[in-house]
Structure 1
Amino acid sequence: MSQPPFSNMFADIVGHTPYMKAIGVRYVGTGPDGVTLALPYRDDLVGDPETRVFASGVVTALLDNTCGMAVWDRINEFKPIATLDLRIDYMRPAMPDNELKATAKCYKLTRSVGFVRAFAYEVSSDDPVAAAQAAFIISNPALRAKA
């Protein structure tokens, strides 16, 4: 009997992660493009009251958490992970009053590192607010690097 996908637990993980819970992030789903989380627009998450766009730190947290979940999705089990490197390119301000989504995909695994790409967007990842490139350390991975 095969084990259910670890992604079946993602909604619970997001719902019980204190910062994700505090800012209202929810798990949207997992598909061929990766793991998607969503951040509903709230006035208390705005960085500049004049422009009414999300604070960059909130966007960073959304992308970082989505990237980590993409690593778990790829290894299909819980193992302790930590962000080694996170680069975010902000391409444009988020649109006020709109939910922000982030989709991340782990595109490469080695024995101890997962490499991830992600996008934050409102409607389509083809028009991103931000793009992220990340690397996560995986503690005691069971996977072996593939040539």
Structure 2
Amino acid sequence: MTLSLKTRAERFVATLRHCQVLGLSVESMEGTTLVMRLPYSDKIVGNPMDGTVHGGSLTTLMDTACGTAVFSVLPGFELCPTLDLRMDYMKAAEPGIDLLAEARVIRIASSVVFTECEVFQGEGEARDLVAKCAAAFMRIGPEMTPAEFRARIEQDEPSAGDAV
């Protein structure tokens, strides 16, 4: 079965429980670039007094966006654990506004995949950089990916109950 990059990304995200809880969704996946949305909600608030987004929410968004881009572009079904993640917080995320992560695979080596990601709020001229990261993912080979996981990605309609 041949899946589009976006479908692979969507099905990968559908299997991850934290993505379901946070409402993460794939907006687009073209070439080596993935755009993922984290909707603003009480679940991502770090300061309940002013609604500021918790830094851990941004970390989760960037790590998941980069990892999903890696999974989507590699041939076969190869899970790649995060090896390194270096983040820069540029400014506090504004309360009430969704976050968009734009992750790019910048180099695929034999044992490591290198990525970068930027998180924005707003669109077009109003697009505002909130955080960015550089991340590396360890290639473990498709043979190390559990057959059950691959089956979930390949099936026609992954269900919400399939999360791991």
> Which category of TM-score, normalised to the shorter sequence, fits these structures?
0.7 to 0.9
Cα shift at 1:76: 4.0
CA contact (8 A) 1:101 1:120 kept: yes
SS of the residue 1:81 aligns to: coil
User: Which consecutive unaligned segments of at least 5 residues does structure 1 have?
Assistant: 142-147
Moved over 4 A (4+): none
SS of the residue 1:80 aligns to: coil
Cα shift at 1:23: 1.1
SS of the residue 1:129 aligns to: strand
* 2:98 match: 99
Cα shift at 1:121: 0.8
* 1:130 match: 131
1:68 and 2:39 correspond:
no
User: Which consecutive unaligned segments of at least 5 residues does structure 2 have?
Assistant: 143-164
Cα shift at 1:78: 1.6
* 1:40 match: 39
CA-to-aligned-CA distance 1:2-51 (integer Å, 9 cap, x gap): 93334312222212211111111111111257111101111232001233
Q: Tell me whether 12-21 or 30-39 shows the greater mean CA deviation.
A: 30-39
Cα shift at 1:134: 0.3
- Which AA in structure 2 matches 1:53? T
Q: Give me the TM-score of the superposition, normalised by structure 1.
A: 0.85
CA-to-aligned-CA distance 1:44-63 (integer Å, 9 cap, x gap): 32001233121111110110
* 1:88 match: 87
SS of the residue 2:128 aligns to: coil
More helix by share: 2
The 3 A distance-change label for structure 1 pair 104 and 56 is same
Q: Give me the TM-score of the superposition, normalised by structure 2.
A: 0.77
Instruction: Please provide the CA RMSD for this pair.
Output: 2.2
* 1:55 match: 54
Q: Tell me whether 79-88 or 126-135 shows the greater mean CA deviation.
A: 126-135
Question: Which structure's relative contact order is higher, taking Cα pairs within 8 Å and 6+ residues apart?
Answer: 2
CA contact (8 A) 1:6 1:78 kept: no
Counterpart CA distance in 1 for 2:73 and 2:31 is 11
Counterpart CA distance in 2 for 1:62 and 1:32 is 20
SS of the residue 1:70 aligns to: helix
Cα shift at 1:68: 0.6
* 2:7 match: 8
